[in-house]
Amino acid sequence: MRDTVRERVGRVMGHVGPYVQLRPLTGGREWDADPLHLRPLTPCELLSALVAEANARSRQFG
């Protein structure tokens, strides 16, 4: 999902109260987002995010 307020992409991990919890694709600290400011990724955005995630992983183990 894209958090349009923070301009960040994250995986939905759950929800607490009125907020959705997102985690960066490469891991890290979750953040709370207002569901009214979330939108699904377009296919192009998803592909770009997955490539960025794979690149980040390869730098860790490369």
pTM of the prediction?
0.81
The pLDDT of residue 62: 58
Q: CA neighbours within 13 Å on the CB side: how many for 7?
A: 0
Which burial class, exposed, middle or buried, applies to 20 when counting CB atoms under 10 A from its CB (0-12, 13-18, 19+)?
Answer: buried
**Which pLDDT tens digit goes with each residue over 27-49?**
889 999 999 999 999 999 999 98
Residue 11 is given by DSSP the state: E
Rounded to whole angstroms, the Cα distance separating 33 from 56 reads 24
The token pair that represents 28 in the structure block: 């890290």
The token pair that represents 47 in the structure block: 């592909």
